[in-house]
Chains A and B, each alone.
Chain A
């Protein structure tokens, strides 16, 4: 345990405001964005390699993830009727602006790709749209890491290097799990592989992050966030292992897919909880800043 840092504060009140984003909207949106983004890439690869059944699943998952995510995003707004104000400007300095455009494009493209797949209409247009999601998909899955990191919340901001990988891993696991759950096992081999890789990436990125952050990473280990993050890790590991050995077992695939999905959700909820905890305790804001200042001062 890190020794309690000595610091001064104003009646223990937080220095910064905690993120006001709600549960389950925000973390679910993070999950869905990851699911959509990674599913798109999976769908592209499936199309290119002829995994048609898996491709169909992935196309649908990508489309549903993006549209449901957009719905949650709108519901999260204080003024949902002004959702379209997000597309009033394009601001490179705002990850949410950039992300809104990415999500809008990803949502549109993935919807076209899925509709074409399901209806059989305009297959060329559908494929073109699908190919384009090969670009927007990874961005949809990872921009959200920038979204949370570009705040004054220490546990988020300080983790801006690892969070994208954590999110990418989580997205892969989510997409792989969806593929496993909604595709007959015989056609879901790549999905299982994606799931395994995703779980591995998520686990490694999480471990690296917590180690590098040191005291700033404490919120990921304590309290509700700690429970969620530990549970996420266990489910990712378990789900990943199961995926690796599931083979053609429908039951194992289902268990693995559910575990991975639950793990991915736990990760997202855990990250929000850790961010809130990190903002609520002035220690996380004051101590590193004070060290930085004192370090700069000649003693």
Chain B
């Protein structure tokens, strides 16, 4: 296996240009997602999905201020009011988890781990069972209507094989999306975080870079300027399959109980209580 490759998305320098979204769709020849004005800041994409493998989130924030409920005819002064002081932008993508629930639960082997350590769907194998969809703790993978198969970011597996960086990283004008060996990216991210902290941005934090988290660390991790849920990310994601052995044990117990229950009903006094059975049969 080659070196594990990954994305480091530094949202502190994302300008929300959505070049990543467009480059991704161009390269991967994805269909559009419909033309709907969402009225959620500049985000009309909404979420990652079967046909959207990069999604730029836009979050408008104000400094905490007292909100006047009686509104009336405004009377608001310039500056220091409820106006937006911070506009967070962040390009979300498949996390390519170390412990990838989608890959684990796929019954056909359509999802597999590549030589780059990424998680990819083989479109010619996937039968569209849809199990990976609710399994993903980040809500990334989805089944495409009309096509019937599950789709998600491949980290441009084909480009990587050709020695090229993924389309989104290539298109990103500010290097908010960085692609490279995961170890190297983690070092770079730690440096960037230290720099931001030194500059007084205590709110900066890394997300998904720790191998100790619930998914064993993400192959695509982020530098965020607020809590993950603000960006639509789960604050403490866990690969559901972590609990699978335990689930099977409980299911096994239930199976035994079921068998036991049936066995009991066919034996002895318990059945007698239900006024029928053998007596009737004899008659």
Contacts and interface: CB of A to CB of B under 8 A. Distances in A.
Tell me, yes or no, whether A and B come into direct contact in the complex with CB atoms closer than 8 A: yes
Interface of A: 7-11, 13-21, 37-38, 41-42, 44-46, 48-53, 76-80, 82-83, 85-86, 88-89, 91, 93-97, 100, 134, 137-139, 141-143, 145-147, 149-153, 156-157, 160-161, 164-165, 167-168, 171-172, 184-190, 192-194, 196-198, 201, 244, 247-248, 275, 279, 282, 285-286, 289-290, 292-293
A79 B232 CA distance: 30
Contact of B131 (A94, A193, A198): A94
B143 A78 contact: yes
A49 B129 contact: no
For this complex, into which size category does the number of interface residues on chain B fall? 35 or more
B276 A186 contact: yes
B136 interface: yes
A17 B150 CA distance: 12
B40 interface: yes
A192 B274 contact: yes
A94 B125 CA distance: 16
B246 interface: yes
* 10 pairs of A and B residues whose beta carbons are closest in the complex: A78-B128, A186-B280, A78-B148, A189-B277, A10-B232, A189-B276, A164-B254, A82-B127, A138-B255, A193-B265
Contact of B255 (A46, A93, A139): A139
A150 B244 contact: yes
Contacts of A52: 281
Contacts of B234: 15-16, 285-286, 289
Interface string B136-176: 11111111100111100000000000000000000000000
Nearest to B264: A197
Contact of B126 (A49, A79, A185): A79
B247 A150 contact: yes
A282 B142 CA distance: 17
A282 B265 CA distance: 44
Contact of B106 (A15, A94, A147): A94
Contacts of A141: 255, 258
Nearest to B92: A10
A124 B212 CA distance: 55
A92 to B, nearest CB: 9
19 contacts: A14-B47, A16-B136, A80-B127, A85-B125, A91-B104, A91-B109, A93-B105, A134-B259, A142-B251, A150-B105, A164-B250, A172-B261, A187-B277, A190-B265, A193-B264, A193-B274, A201-B257, A282-B232, A289-B237
A46 B265 CA distance: 10
A28 to B, nearest CB: 16
B266 A167 contact: no
Given A189-B275, A247-B274, 5 more contacts: A18-B134, A49-B267, A52-B281, A79-B127, A150-B241
Given A157-B240, A193-B270, A289-B236, A172 B130 contact: no
B149 to A, nearest CB: 6
Nearest to B48: A17
Given A10-B57, A186-B280, A86 B127 contact: yes
A167 B253 CA distance: 12
A13 B138 CA distance: 12
A97 B43 CA distance: 38
A80 B229 CA distance: 36
